[in-house]
Homo-oligomer: A and B are copies of this chain.
């Protein structure tokens, strides 16, 4: 009784399993190519055509179009996470906090410019009719982890103070409600336990500003306004570094 359940499991390590993994990778690669032109309304049939296959064959690898999209989203988060992690790790002198921040920030923009469609997939408007799975959170938090890691190292070495200095009072002066304070502390404890609150808030602001710039650049808000985008971005990165006291 051969049950015809597509997208089956294959015994790990076998030759078939290796071929299968390669096929999955190729499908995703072709699909990524289509993201650039079609955006999020990705067509399974178009992907199959490009691979000289019949569209139904793809169901051996992905149970549905949405699952393929989900895989692409996870891959995008991880690719960005890898890029940022590598950029930070490339600064061998771990005490050069500012250099690490600048490198990580640049990596984000570089990756986004190199893969704008994938960036749009994860940081752009949600795909209509597609319900994002809940388990993207882990992959999505890899970038914040790297950024906060810089601050944690700074605190551990004593380079960053436990109390805010002059230019940082601005953020910490706000008196958040109980709910908001609880949100922020929960988030901090989950990802950067022990980090001073003012630093976490400064990092949060920087995180949002950083992606705000990249999104504005990629989504066209800088058209007819800023030509020297790389320099503008770098300047803002420096500002954020000042903000966090790096």
Contacts and interface: CB of A to CB of B under 8 A. Distances in A.
Interface of A: 37-41, 120, 123-129, 132, 137, 140, 166-167, 169-171, 173-174, 176-177, 179-180, 183-184, 187, 205, 208-209, 211-213, 215-216, 218-221, 223-228, 231-232, 235-236, 238-239, 242-243
Contact of A176 (B40, B167, B179, B231): B231
Contacts of A227: 179, 183
Nearest to A213: B208
B232 A183 contact: yes
A220 B187 contact: no
A223 B140 CA distance: 11
| Residue with the greatest number of chain B CB neighbours at <10 A, chosen from A120, A184, A208, A242 | A208
B170 A243 contact: yes
Contact of A219 (B126, B166, B179, B226): B126
A187 B223 CA distance: 11
A144 to B, nearest CB: 9
| Residue with the greatest number of chain B CB neighbours at <10 A, chosen from A184, A211, A212, A227 | A212
Given A41-B128, A125-B124, A221-B123, A174 B235 contact: yes
Nearest to A177: B231
| Residue with the greatest number of chain B CB neighbours at <10 A, chosen from A37, A127, A220 | A220
Contacts of A183: 225-228, 232
A86 to B, nearest CB: 22
Contacts of A37: 128-129
Nearest to A235: B174
B174 A238 contact: yes
B171 A239 contact: yes
The 3 closest A-B pairs by CB, nearest first: A212-B212, A124-B125, A39-B128
